[in-house]
Amino acid sequence: MPGNGTPAEGNNAQKHWNLLASKSRRNRRVKDASLFAFLIAASIPIIIPYFWLLTLAFSAGREGVDTRVLWPSIFILVPAVVLTWVWATIADTRRRAMTGWGVIWAVAIAVYAIFLGPELHLYNFRFLLNPDFNAAYTDIVAAKDNPGFSVTSFPSVWTAFWNSLFIAGVSTVIVIFAASLAGYYISRFQYRFRETSLAAMLVLHAFPTTVLLIPIFLVIWKIGLLDTLFGIVLVIVGIELPFAVFIMKGFFDAVPWEIEMSALTDGATRRQAFYKVVLPQVTNGMIAVSVFVFIRGWEEFIFVLTLLATNAKWTMSLYTFFVTEETNLGIDYGVVSAVAVFYIMPSFLLYTIAQKYLLQMSVGGIKG
């Protein structure tokens, strides 16, 4: 019996407990490690291409695509990652784990720098500074193959960047504003056809939007918004709004009536109660919806391709597309990869930063 035996027995009992505790710690680590290993294995088919893109962006030259850097990189990184896990299961204190990881990664980076350092360069990112980054080369190629042909002239990538930012940003602001008000109304008020309209909204979201390509083109043309950024904004808002409303309604449903009633008796008007008491409870939902709409606008391709014409209106998606198209004429894959990396970066950052809120979306959005 621990506690009431001789000191020796007490010691033994303590050892026994320590043993059990370390066993459970070990179990937990093994479990964590295997879970991560599984997740990584499952995502390798996606990660490898992205990783390849990344290595190309920082290493490829005009010679074309190769895996010269990819495989050595994997050869160095994978063992480093594996060692990190293994060490996580072995190390018995947090401090030792940290030290071990430090050593592993210092070595990995050093090896990488020695073997692959000379291969890496930023030359592919020259498009960021010089809109005419390939002019000399493409002109030669084009002139050789079909005389008199003039290559698409590229706008500065920053024009495309700001256009995309404008489309994504303005769509987000409009959607979040409208969806908050509409979601609140639907959540709080009883009106005729409430259930039906909710169901209809979901069905709208279920249709592939590409089927609307021609009707939308005609509408946008008729109202004179063809080849304008705002036309694209309207389309994205129209497509994203129903689902956004639905998600926001879910978040508002989770806000108890009573805090609103309380605000009313405390002297607030209905509008003040909404802004001061209800809205702060759904900020997570607003952030989540904003991120999704923003990324949707950032990624939009098919409608910008259809509705925008002049290259001063290009978005990042069009820019990337045309850079790729140009490869027919012999453009190098290094630049294509670099543009892709540049294009992906904002989405990636946004997802990473807002991850916490995105995960809550399912919580807020389930109830009908």
Partner 1 sequence: MATIEFRGINKKFGDETIIPEMNLKIDDGEFVALLGPSGCGKSTTLFMLAGIYLPTDGELLFDGARVNEVEARDRNVGIVFQSYALYPHMTVAKNIAFPLRFKKTPEAEINRRVKEAAELVRVGELLERRPEQLSGGQQQRVALARALVKDPALLLLDEPLSNLDATLRLAMRTEIKALQERLKVTTVLVTHDQIEATTMADRIVCMHAGKIEQIGTPDDLYKRPATRFVAEFVGSPPINTFQGAAADGVVELGGARLAISGGANGPVYVGLRPEHLFFADGGIPAKIVQHEPMGREILYVCDTPLGMVRILEAAATASQSIGSETHFGFDSAHSLVFESASENLIGNARVSAIESGS
Residues that bind partner 1 (CB under 8 A): 256, 258-259, 261-269, 272, 277, 280-281
Reduce the DSSP state of residue 232 to 3 states and report it: helix
| Least Cβ distance, residue 321 to partner 1 (angstroms) | 44
| Least Cβ distance, residue 182 to partner 1 (angstroms) | 22
Burial 101-132 (b: 16+ CB within 10 A, else e): beebeeebeebbeeebeeeeeebbbebbeebe
| Least Cβ distance, residue 256 to partner 1 (angstroms) | 6
263 contacts 273 by C-beta, under 8 angstroms: yes
Find how far residue 140's CA is from the centre of its chain.
Answer: 38
- Cβ proximity to partner 1, 282 vs 340, nearer residue: 282
| Least Cβ distance, residue 267 to partner 1 (angstroms) | 3
- Cβ proximity to partner 1, 146 vs 189, nearer residue: 189
| Least Cβ distance, residue 360 to partner 1 (angstroms) | 15
| Least Cβ distance, residue 202 to partner 1 (angstroms) | 27
* Tokens of residue 274, six digits: 């909404």
Round to whole Å and give the CA distance between 177 and 219: 24
Round to whole Å and give the CA distance between 353 and 345: 12
Write the secondary structure of 160-183 as one string of H (helix), E (strand) and C (coil). Answer: HHHHHHHHHHHHHHHHHHHHHHHH
- Cβ proximity to partner 1, 15 vs 194, nearer residue: 194
Q: Give the number of other Cβ atoms within 10 Å of residue 160's Cβ.
A: 25
Q: What phi and psi values does residue 75 have, to the nearest 5 degrees?
A: -60, -30
| Least Cβ distance, residue 191 to partner 1 (angstroms) | 13
Q: Give the number of other Cβ atoms within 10 Å of residue 200's Cβ.
A: 11
- Cβ proximity to partner 1, 263 vs 338, nearer residue: 263
- Cβ proximity to partner 1, 16 vs 276, nearer residue: 276
- Cβ proximity to partner 1, 224 vs 267, nearer residue: 267
Q: Which helix (H) or strand (E) holds 43?
A: helix 7-59
Round to whole Å and give the CA distance between 292 and 300: 12
- Cβ proximity to partner 1, 15 vs 276, nearer residue: 276
- Cβ proximity to partner 1, 7 vs 267, nearer residue: 267
CA proximity to 109, closest of 81, 131, 70: 81
| Least Cβ distance, residue 265 to partner 1 (angstroms) | 5
Round to whole Å and give the CA distance between 73 and 51: 9
